[in-house]
Amino acid sequence: MQERFWPVHCINVGAALEQIGMDDTTVGQTYGIHGPKEYNVMELKEMVDREILKTRAAYQRAESYHGAHDQKFEQGLVVAC
């Protein structure tokens, strides 16, 4: 049997908690909060891997831009306006 997960965004959890906190009829109740789509462990792993790679690529692009900018600045090629 494979475990299944329904991830939920933290904004949705916050909205649910706000509603629960404002409604006195929710005292003593238990609520299950889940997202709209079901995933297995492998699907979640692949999703996280894709996000990590996107973040890493964006970071590397920023580093290469700033590295080139810093190098030009050190060489006196950047003129401030």
Q: Are residues 65 and 29 in the same domain?
A: no
Q: Are residues 49 and 81 in the same domain?
A: yes
Work out how many domains the chain is built from and give that number: 2
Q: Are residues 29 and 45 in the same domain?
A: no
Separation CA 11–CA 32 (nearest Å): 15
pLDDT tens track for 7-52: 999 999 999 999 999 999 999 999 888 899 999 999 999 998 988 8
Instruction: Using a cut of 0.75, tell me whether the model's pTM lies above it.
Output: no
Separation CA 72–CA 79 (nearest Å): 10
Q: Are residues 57 and 30 in the same domain?
A: no
Q: Are residues 5 and 26 in the same domain?
A: yes
Q: Are residues 30 and 46 in the same domain?
A: no
Its domain, for residue 50, covers: 41-81
Separation CA 24–CA 27 (nearest Å): 6
pLDDT tens track for 42-76: 999 999 898 888 877 777 777 776 665 555 545 54
